[in-house]
């Protein structure tokens, strides 16, 4: 099996790097690319939905990014220990009617020894926002290195 560095046990620096790599992958909005960071039998709880394995992850993310248009995400390390990382995140997107939302959440991640995520538990709340209240204005794709993070944006 191919390793996905950084691998556990995590240091503060390697946990921050792992979080940024996950953010970058999700901002690509490429389900097949994102799924490669997870074990073949990875288990997810995303809101009230349960997902198991890469095929279901790809299907889930395809549905997600069909609904959540112009998706932009920021993740931030919350805590880490051994092979686990906790993050908080916020993303902005709009629906096909042009209604904007900021979605806030927390994720708990568990990794195998190769650095692949074997479990992901996500709790998420959606808040309607006006387009003028958006804070994420970078071009679609990776968040620019100089763009403020969640704490900097007081989110």
Give the E-state strand segments of 47-152 in sequence order.
49-52, 69-81, 84-94, 100-111, 117-129
Digitized pLDDT (tens) for each residue of the chain, 155 residues in all = 689 999 999 999 999 999 999 999 999 999 999 999 999 999 999 999 999 999 999 999 999 999 999 999 999 999 999 999 999 999 999 999 999 999 999 999 999 999 999 999 999 999 999 999 999 999 999 999 999 999 999 99
Closest CA to 18 of 3, 29, 31, 30: 3
Tell me how far apart the alpha carbons of residues 143 and 42 are, in angstroms, rounded to a whole number: 26
Q: What does CATH list as the number for 12-133?
A: 3.10.450.50
Supply the pTM of this predicted model: 0.97
> Hey, how many other C-beta atoms are within 10 angstroms of the C-beta on 6?
17
Tell me how far apart the alpha carbons of residues 8 and 75 are, in angstroms, rounded to a whole number: 19
Domains of the chain: which residue ranges? 12-133
């Amino acid at each position: 099996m191919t390793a996905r560095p950084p691998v556990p046990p995590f240091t503060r620096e390697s946990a921050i790097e792992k979080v940024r790599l996950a953010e970058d992958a999700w901002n690509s909005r490429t389900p097949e690319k994102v799924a490669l960071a997870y074990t073949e039998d990875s288990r997810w709880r995303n809101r009230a939905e349960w997902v198991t394995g890469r095929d279901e992850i790809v299907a889930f993310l395809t549905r997600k990014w069909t609904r959540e248009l112009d998706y932009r995400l920021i993740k931030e390390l919350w805590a880490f220990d051994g092979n686990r990382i906790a993050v908080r995140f916020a993303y902005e997107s709009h629906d096909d009617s042009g209604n904007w939302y900021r979605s806030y959440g927390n994720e708990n991640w568990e990794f195998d020894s190769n650095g692949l995520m074997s479990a992901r538990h996500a709790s998420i709340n959606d808040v309607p926002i006006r387009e003028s209240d958006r804070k994420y204005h970078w071009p679609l794709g990776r968040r620019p290195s100089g763009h403020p993070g969640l704490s900097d944006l007081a989110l």
